[in-house]
Chain A
């Protein structure tokens, strides 16, 4: 398997624009996670899906952030409108099921909002 695939790897956008980050989890994995990494706050969980259903979105910072998982092989994280403080590395991770604790991470998307 190619692992968790995220796109794009890098994104530079202007403040106020909409940004969409994409993730393809490992085939057969039932759980998907979106994390954000910043120097100030480290790695934080934004949202977690199990079987395509959002289970915990308490980490989503505000209404400008939304995430969807329309099917088992695809998820998006959208920021609208984007702000400079959203600049970070966004990671997607997946795991096999709730009994298997190892999460496999994608290579992340580095987002810069200018």
Chain B
């Protein structure tokens, strides 16, 4: 079975600074996807970024980028130029490629961006 671990339950950062959220996972699969989802106070789950395990290049989406280390089974999210609207819970998630599209989530991390 796959597991996803987010060891930092809570972080805070000043507006405009950079912050990195950590995530590790455990799997015996070779082909899979990794995701970061954001859950603001509105409760909506929003996809932030996605990484295919077969791709060596780290995914980027505007101010969001990942550091994917497949051998180490590490998948961290970097948020540059933090904005107040980035305040939310952030969830790391794993999906095996092929078969069931089940997302396995970490417990989440609360990020607060301070003005």
A residues neighboring B (CB under 8 Å) = 31, 33, 35, 42-45, 48, 50, 55-56, 89, 91, 93, 95, 98, 101-105, 107-108, 110
Identify 26 residue pairs between A and B in the complex whose beta-carbon atoms are under 8 Å apart, listed by A's number.
A31-B101, A33-B101, A33-B103, A35-B103, A42-B105, A42-B106, A42-B108, A43-B91, A43-B105, A45-B102, A45-B103, A45-B104, A48-B101, A55-B100, A98-B101, A101-B50, A101-B101, A103-B47, A103-B101, A103-B103, A104-B47, A105-B44, A105-B45, A107-B42, A107-B43, A108-B45
How many contacts A-B (CB < 8 Å)?
50
Check B95 for interface membership: any CB of A closer than 8 A. Answer: yes
Check B107 for interface membership: any CB of A closer than 8 A. Answer: yes
Q: How many residues of B contact A (CB 8 A)?
A: 19
Q: Is the CB of B43 within 8 A of A108?
A: yes
Collect the chain A residues with CB atoms within 8 Å of residue B106's CB: 42
Within 8 A of A (CB), among B37-58: 42-47, 50
Q: Is the CB of B101 within 8 A of A102?
A: no
Expressed in whole angstroms, the Cα–Cα distance for A31 and B102 within the complex equals 11
Q: Is the CB of A101 within 8 A of B43?
A: no
Expressed in whole angstroms, the Cα–Cα distance for A107 and B33 within the complex equals 23
**Residue ID in chain B nearest A104 by CB atoms:** B47
Q: Is the CB of B107 within 8 A of A48?
A: no
**Residue ID in chain B nearest A105 by CB atoms:** B45
Collect the chain B residues with CB atoms within 8 Å of residue A98's CB: 101
Q: Is the CB of B102 within 8 A of A93?
A: no
**Residue ID in chain A nearest B107 by CB atoms:** A42
Collect the chain B residues with CB atoms within 8 Å of residue A33's CB: 101-103
Collect the chain B residues with CB atoms within 8 Å of residue A105's CB: 44-46
With A42-B108, A89-B43, A107-B42 known as contacts, the answer to whether A95 contacts B101 (CB < 8 A) is yes
- Given pairs A33-B101, A42-B108, A48-B100, 14 additional interface contacts (CB within 8 A): A42-B105, A43-B105, A89-B43, A93-B45, A95-B101, A101-B33, A101-B95, A102-B50, A104-B47, A105-B44, A105-B45, A105-B46, A108-B44, A110-B43
Within 8 A of A (CB), among B88-115: 91, 95, 100-108
